[in-house]
Structure 1
Amino acid sequence: MLKGFKEFIMRGNVVDLAVAVVIGAAFGKIIDAIVKNFINPLVAAIFGQPDLGGVGNFAIGKGEFHIGLILNELLSFLFVAAAIYFFIIFPLNKLAERRKRGEEPAPSDEPLTTDQQLLVEIRDALQRRSS
């Protein structure tokens, strides 16, 4: 039972997913800080309010609708999605296109550090194991 669990955890996709979640959470915090400390002051300069929370609020009966809060979250989401696309997805797609055409990026003339050598060995071992 524990052996099966270990195999499940050691699969590349599970580890990759865990790393992606952690990095995504940290990246989300960075984008939130940019929105709160850069975008919101711009909104305050334009609309006279520190964020969009007070924009478009209305009530029907006892129900209050806060359109501005939805716009705040939508704006944060769009910035996170754009940052992930332009800083991660787009460069990786370009790299994949180069590899497909056989245009690998030129290797650095600097020797690999101990950590880099270890990562190369791990990569090679995983490739041998999967094939």
Structure 2
Amino acid sequence: MLKEFKDFAMKGNLVDIAVAFVMGAAFNKVVTSFTGGIVSPLVGLIFNSNFNDLKYVITPGVVDEAGAVTGEVAILYGSFLTNVIDFIIVAFVMFMIIKGINKTKKKEEPAPEAPKGPSQEDLLAEIRDLLKK
């Protein structure tokens, strides 16, 4: 059983998937920091607010002595938009990577066409000639 597990774990596809997963997690951190540190402040300039703090308050909360708001019910659409931007960036980069990989792949030569039999006209001419005899 241990040998079977070792064979399973060392298969090429599983190792490739594990490496891709680790790289994807690291890439996600890069994209998140890019969005949070560069894109969000630029968009925040447009809205004159912190992009991640954009929200629609449904029920206002109570401000306590420390200045914290408790009991607020709000839709945090700024955080959602940040995550959508993260997703679009990751999807675009993955698209470009796949496109680049597909360009570098060796193009397969099209298989030669199978020889075609006689055309319909040739068969009809042959039948005509046979009927004349």
TM range (shorter): 0.5 to 0.7
Q: Which whole-Å CA distance do the structure 1 matches of 2:109 and 2:104 have between them?
A: 10
Cα-Cα RMSD: 2.1
Q: Would you say 1:81 and 2:91 are equivalent positions?
A: yes
Q: Which whole-Å CA distance do the structure 2 matches of 1:101 and 1:38 have between them?
A: 46
Q: Which whole-Å CA distance do the structure 2 matches of 1:47 and 1:31 have between them?
A: 22
Q: Percent of counterpart pairs with the same letter?
A: 34
Q: Which stretch shows the higher mean deviation, 28-37 or 3-12? A: 28-37
Partner residue in 2 for 1:59: 58
For residue 56 of structure 2, what is the amino acid of its counterpart?
N
Shift in alpha-carbon separation, 1:13–1:67, aligned structure 2, 3 A = same
Partner residue in 2 for 1:3: 3
Q: Would you say 1:100 and 2:108 are equivalent positions?
A: yes
Partner residue in 2 for 1:127: none
Q: Which stretch shows the higher mean deviation, 71-80 or 15-24? A: 71-80
CA shift digits 1:28-67 (9 cap, x unpaired): 111112112211121121111232x333423169742212
Give ranges in structure 2 of 5+ residues lacking alignment. Answer: 61-71, 111-133
Structure 2 length normalisation: TM-score?
0.65
Tell which structure's C-alpha radius of gyration is larger: 2
Partner residue in 1 for 2:24: 24
Give ranges in structure 1 of 5+ residues lacking alignment. Answer: 103-131
Give the number of equivalent residue pairs. 99
Q: Which whole-Å CA distance do the structure 1 matches of 2:103 and 2:109 have between them?
A: 11
Q: Would you say 1:38 and 2:48 are equivalent positions?
A: no
Structure 1 or 2: more helix by fraction: 1
Q: Which whole-Å CA distance do the structure 2 matches of 1:17 and 1:74 have between them?
A: 25
Once the two structures are TM-superposed, the CA of residue 69 in structure 1 deviates from its matched residue by 1.5
Q: Which whole-Å CA distance do the structure 1 matches of 2:43 and 2:108 have between them?
A: 44
Query: Whose relative contact order is higher, 1 or 2, with alpha carbons under 8 Å and at least 6 apart?
Result: 2
Once the two structures are TM-superposed, the CA of residue 101 in structure 1 deviates from its matched residue by 5.0
